[in-house]
Chain A
Amino acid sequence: MNPLFVQTDGNQADYRPGDIVRGVIRWQYDTRPGRIELRLIWFTEGPGPDDVKIVDTLVQEDPLPADACVFQFRLPDGPFSYNGNSFRVRWALELLAPGRKDCVRLNVIVSPTNQPITVPFH
């Protein structure tokens, strides 16, 4: 079972640009994990090399072995989640314990229409 857990309030998965993403993160280890990081990222997916940008980070230094905390990020105005012909743009919350090489990712949608922008445009 993954010792890391991330969840948004009300299990919300879609947001508009500028919205605030709130939620809770939990971790459960036998010993102190050293560092817990929650990253708000967007990344591209396509046949070529992918790009990743870390928009914001919440860091817990030397936390207790098992604990939980709430988080809050304000989403920027872009880029939008996008499903194109050649590439896609995705958003995610990535929770990791670098010292333990554990990671969990929660995909979210950031778009004015609450859905990824698709082609063709209208």
Chain B
Amino acid sequence: MGTAFFVFFISIPAGIEIFIIRDFVKTVQTYSWNETPCRILSSEVVSEDNRYRFAVRYEYTVVAKTFVGDKFRRNSHPGDYDKQQSRTSQYPAGSQTVCFVNPSNSSEAVLQRDSLFFGLVILFPLLFIAIGTIGLYACWTKVKPKPAENQPISNPAKGRGFLVFFFSIFALAGGGMMWPLCIRPIYKVIDARNWIETPCRVIQARVQSHDSDDGTTYSVDILYEYSIGGKTYRSARYDFLGGSSSGYHGKQKIVDRYRTMSNPVCYVNPAHLSEAVLVRKATAKLFLCLFPWVFFLVGAGGIFGVLRSSARSAQTGSAAWLPPSSKTGCGMDPGGVHWLRPSVEADRCNDWITLPAAGRRAGKFFGWLLFAAFWNGMISVFIGMAIQSFRHGHPEWFLAVFLIPFVLIGFALILAAGYQFLALFNPYPVVRIRPGRVRLGETADLKWELRGLPGRIRELKIVLTASEQIRNTSDENRRNRTVSMSSKPIFERDLVLLTEPQQIASGQIRLSIPAAGMHSFDSGNCRLIWAVSFLGDIRLWPNLKDDLTILVVPSHLQEPA
């Protein structure tokens, strides 16, 4: 099933990639066409299907034969008025310029060659092909092969190069989008503060519709004229971001306003008088700037994580796992810690140290909230479609029934987020332990104080646990450093069960660590975590459940002389 899904997942971008590459090859071929002098016969902006097109005709001679070309670029499409207008200024009628002629077919020529930057578009489908390939690989290699006996385990891990390449695609995609979606618009908004406010005349104002497979989007299309420096110019630029989106009524309001405006003004670039804009301030559309950052940060973060993980794996040295030195003299030999999490406080071995707050409540709440928002946001699109179909008298019953389990899951996620929100207001334990590092087979004193209305807790249980955590293979596909817990703790011992409010509010107990157990361990991808869990039963409210990590060390851990 997974194989079928990922094969299907790969096939669509692969198909698109073939078309993109074919088109790109044709673009590259124009760079081998002959540069030929030509004369512009006509040059104007014409309206076509609610958009504007640069219509040009030019004459050139090849081997004593004269041809007339009308192609501006191999891939030129109708677009914004401003862009087309600037081309008429660049290629005015009667001017001499050069065109590029196909040596195999002299009747084929272009005035300008398409940019090779278009080749970067090839990266987009590659992204999805890479994701699908990883998914396919994960499906086929559920069982990790054991390393061959004659292959060293201790050499730097293979496959990191592939991961770096994979994340580079994300980073490049984000970087490629950065200029048009982020840097250029922001630069223009800042630069436009010095542009000249100029009265203008609205020639035409309408809402332009753009149909696509995903539906219809709309854009503001206002053609205006202004005079500056003794010359008259026309422009159709509304703001610096452009583009189209859903939401017809908002755009209609803008168009209506400009149709009836008595003294409209535009802002003219003093450096390029043909460049103007109606709205120069930052608008909500500028939030699109964040979009390329998502790709870029995922890519850059992934590369950083892979390289950091490589650096950690490559660390050597006999002291590589020893805990760091301590001022009180209770510490050990110096060295980086890679299997035992260090704690400066824990080095004061005979003092009380405060265990770090669990801090997971807020994380759990925001995690559930984001997941609920993401899930319900996704299905709301389909719910909207189903509702629309009923309202228009063509009910989509299959869609409606299909959505039921997804809607139920969405409700459950909202409830879970709500539950976690209430849990944020639970009492919380402040816990101290002595010694900070507890040796296997030895005991430690634990004292606590519950803050934030501990009287609400009817029963408090304190449990000593040890749990394993590993970074799962499938998590690589999500490019997350998420960990998966094993289903139950590998060690669990009830330390105390209290029902008296005064005893619940604060107290002290002694805990002992089994002698034949495993110490705390953290190698990066695998962890063994010892913790003290505070489980409180609260009536008509989410129960208290806080886990505080403690450090358990080998009984042989050497003290300095």
Contact = CB atoms under 8 A, between A and B. Distances in A.
Interface of A: 2, 16-18, 39, 41-44, 46-57, 74, 76-80, 82, 84-87, 89, 92, 94, 96, 102-105, 112-113, 117, 119-122
Interface in B305-319: 309, 312-319
Given A76-B322, A86-B468, A89-B523, 15 more contacts: A39-B154, A46-B526, A49-B309, A49-B471, A51-B525, A55-B317, A74-B318, A78-B557, A86-B469, A87-B468, A105-B149, A105-B152, A117-B518, A120-B490, A121-B466
Given A53-B321, A85-B486, A120-B490, A77 B154 contact: no
A41 B153 contact: yes
Q: Is the interface of B mostly helix, strand, loop or mixed?
A: loop
Which 7 A/B pairs are nearest by Cβ-Cβ distance?
A: A121-B517, A51-B523, A54-B316, A86-B468, A87-B526, A103-B152, A121-B514
A78 B152 CA distance: 22
Given A56-B318, A103-B152, A17 B556 contact: yes
A51 B518 contact: no
A48 B526 contact: yes
B150 A102 contact: yes
Contacts of B262: none
B66 interface: no
Contacts of B154: 39, 41, 43, 52, 54, 94
Contact of A47 (B316, B321, B470): B470
B473 to A, nearest CB: 5
A121 B515 CA distance: 8
Given A52-B313, A84-B528, A117-B516, A47 B490 contact: no
Interface of B: 144, 149-154, 157, 309, 312-322, 338-340, 466, 468-473, 475-476, 486, 490-491, 514-519, 521, 523-526, 528, 553-558
Contact of A117 (B312, B318, B471, B517): B517
Contacts of A56: 316-318
A74 to B, nearest CB: 7
A121 B490 contact: yes
13 contacts: A18-B556, A48-B471, A49-B471, A50-B525, A76-B321, A80-B554, A85-B486, A89-B526, A103-B150, A105-B152, A112-B554, A121-B514, A122-B514
Nearest to A49: B525
Contacts of A41: 153-154
A115 to B, nearest CB: 10
A86 B486 CA distance: 7
Contacts of A82: 518, 521, 528
Contact of A119 (B150, B309, B318, B491): B491
A103 B521 contact: no
A120 to B, nearest CB: 7
Task: Count chain B CB atoms within 10 A of each CB in A47, A86, A105 and give the residue with the most.
Answer: A86
A82 to B, nearest CB: 5
Nearest to A47: B473
A104 B318 contact: no
Given A79-B521, A80-B519, A17 B152 contact: no
B340 A94 contact: no
Nearest to A82: B518
Contacts of A96: 152
A53 B339 CA distance: 9
Contacts of A76: 318-319, 321-322
A104 B154 CA distance: 12
Contacts of A122: 514-517
B151 A103 contact: yes
Contacts of B486: 85-86
Nearest to A74: B318
A80 B521 CA distance: 9
Given A48-B526, A53-B339, A87-B468, A77 B322 contact: yes
Contact of A121 (B150, B470, B491, B553): B491
